[in-house]
Amino acid sequence: MTKIINVIKGTHDILPQEIDKWHILEENALKIFTRYGYKEIRTPIFESTELFARGVGDTTDIVNKEMYTFEKSDKSLTLRPENTAGVVRSYIENGMARLSSPVKLWYKGPMFRYERPQKGRQRQFHQVGIEMFGIKEPTADAEVIFMAVNYLKSLGLNNLEVEINSLGCPKCREEFKNKLKTVLKWEFNNLCEDCQNRYEKNPLRLLDCKVESCKTIFEKPEIQKVIQSDFICEECAEHFVKLKSYLDKLGIKYTVNKLLVRGLDYYNRTVFEIKSNNLGSQNAVCGGGRYDSLVKNLGGEDTPAVGWAMGMERLNSLLPLPEPKKLDGYIVSNSPVNAFELAEELRDNGYNIEFDLSNKKFTKQLEKASKVANYAIILGEDEINAGNVSVKNLATGEQKTVSIQELRSML
RNA sequence: GCGUCUGUCGUCAAGCGGUUAAGACCUCGGAUUGUGGUUCCGAUAUACAUGGGUUCGAAUCCCAUCAGACGCCCCA
């Protein structure tokens, strides 16, 4: 036998038996986001490599280690590892700054990251996400979080934990980073290898280390003092306080997690995640935040923005498997032409109909009907001659002989 | 990139050094040539990831490779 070709590591087929769940995710996204005034946008799956380097940030792992990059006629192209950069590019390129503010966009589609696959993480995975441009007030942060929660509710997912934090603005964050680095300088050689890397790349992440020796170091009073200090400046603090008060008044339960940092460079002020306890170690279904400087960094006008993305495979694994849908009717007949005519007529009227295409025996056809359909529509010689059909309810066994007109009202 | 575990029919699995390598489900056919979902019978003619080794003898033990799962890093 010829050698078969397998799917690529970290990718997988979405098979017919699970596609209903994907439709639920997509239909609810359209429905809920539309209620909040969002329009769908579809951007290309590959973009110029530079977009991600500048947009996502060239200190991030996503850009440094995880991109699918290829060359084509002297251009460096990359399969999108996330979609915020692409949407921002489109926002700028299509002059959406001229649209009346806020501009609200949502998307869904595949993303690509070259990572080691594990539970809740694939190399090709799907995100559904939203971006809102033009509002600097914390009302935007609140609405965006509220919509995320509502979307999850619409999927029947209620027991999820919302975590928020504020990273401050570039200025106050820089100060905090420096303080942290100063106080940890003496301990640098005692930190684990990962922490030594984080020390330069993303000092805020140091605090989340799981290595015991590092935890012990961080517990020292002089270091705790820095960690516990509220580093964010007055304006940033006010923004955060307002956001929290909105969430409180809207009845959204959340916890403030000072260790919530997020790895994408573009975030400032508000960051948030929504987590589930039923997902294993990759437990965030939603991640997002404010990114006020990204539009400008990518060459647009200075425009504040907030957004989030959800991992659709992760959402999917939280959804119960819906009952597979059956056909409305299966025509049992040994007269293909008559079966065709009846099937087409019923299909034109919106019914889902199949019939046997291989001229199987009557009992076989009926057996098939009982597996795939709610009704068997029996169109044998007797019925054809009499100009009617026999309709059998396959759940109850009830059978009636009716005219074709009557048949329509039965299904 | 690192670590741990796992690879037996389309699917789920038994077997743990000597078996014709169970069984169940699915699919297909028959009992049943116009009445299914229950039942009974049968079929699927080359399922032990691949390549080496140890042994009289390997699906079973060892090594390598490949693949998968989970975890670390990082992220949805």
* pLDDT tens digit sequence for A246-296: 999 999 999 998 888 776 778 899 999 999 888 888 889 999 999 999 999
Residue nearest to nucleotide B29 (CA to C1'): A364
| Distance from CA(A268) to C1'(B21), angstroms, rounded | 62
Asked if the Cβ of residue A125 lies within 7 A of any atom of strand B, the reply is yes
Does the C-beta of A181 come within 7 A of strand B?
no
| Residue A2 pLDDT class (50, 70, 90 cuts) | low
The pLDDT value recorded for residue A320 is 85
**CA of A326, C1' of B39: distance in angstroms:** 26
Query: What secondary structure letter does DSSP report for A121?
Result: B
CB of A162 lies under 7 Å from some atom of strand B: no
Nucleotides of B under 7 A from a protein CB: 1-3, 27-30, 32-37, 67-76
Strand B reaches within 7 A of the A314 CB: yes
Q: Which positions 6-65 on chain A have a beta carbon less than 7 angstroms from any atom of strand B?
A: 6, 8-10, 60-62
Residue A206, CA: closest nucleotide via C1'? B73
Per-residue pLDDT of A52-89, as tens digits, reads 999 888 778 888 888 999 999 999 999 999 999 999 99
Task: Find out whether A299 and A88 touch, Cβ atoms under 8 Å.
Answer: no
Q: Is the pLDDT of residue A411 over 90?
A: no
* Range 233-292, chain A: CB under 7 Å to any strand B atom: 261-264, 273, 280-282, 284-288
**Statement: the CB of A118 is under 7 Å from strand B:** yes
Q: Kindly state the helix (H) or strand (E) to which residue A260 belongs, with its residue range.
A: none
pLDDT score, position A263:
67
Asked if strand B contacts A163 at the CB level, meaning under 7 A, the answer is no
pLDDT of residue A1 exceeding 70: no
Of A residues 373-392, those with CB within 7 angstroms of nucleic strand B are 376, 378, 380-383, 390, 392
Q: Is the CB of A3 under 7 A from strand B?
A: no
Give whole-number Cα distances, A85 to A22, A51, A56, A98, in Å: 24, 7, 7, 19
Instruction: Report ipTM (2 d.p.).
Output: 0.85
> Partners of A91 in the beta sheet?
none
Instruction: Return mean pLDDT, chain A.
Output: 89
- In angstroms, rounded to a whole number, what is the distance separating the alpha carbons of residues A24 and A27? 5
* Closest nucleotide to the alpha carbon of A379, via C1': B34
CA of A394 to C1' of B28 (A): 23
pLDDT band at A188 (very low <50, low <70, confident <90, very high): confident
Average pLDDT over residues A335-340: 92
Residues 6+ apart with CB under 8 A from A268: A167, A168, A169, A170, A173, A289, A290, A291, A292, A293
Distance of alpha carbon A321 from alpha carbon A20, whole angstroms: 8
Res A196: pLDDT: 77
Q: Backbone phi, then psi, for A168, in 5-degree steps?
A: 75, -175
Residues A213-250 have pLDDT tens digits of 777 777 777 777 777 777 788 899 999 999 999 999 99
Q: How far apart are CA A389 and CA A407, in angstroms?
A: 8
Give the whole-number percent of chain A exceeding pLDDT 70.
99
Tell me which of A380 and A204 has the higher pLDDT: A380
Confidence of residue A311 (pLDDT cuts 50, 70, 90): very high
pLDDT in tens, A127-176: 999 999 999 999 999 999 999 999 999 999 988 999 999 988 888 888 88
Question: What confidence score (pLDDT) does residue A89 get?
Answer: 97
Distance CA A58, CA A49 (A): 11
B14 C1' to A107 CA distance, Å: 48
- Quick check: A93 and A136 in contact, CB under 8 A? no
User: CA–C1' span, A35 to B53, in Å?
Assistant: 67
Nucleotide nearest to A314 (CA to C1'): B76
Q: Find out whether A309 and A286 touch, Cβ atoms under 8 Å.
A: yes
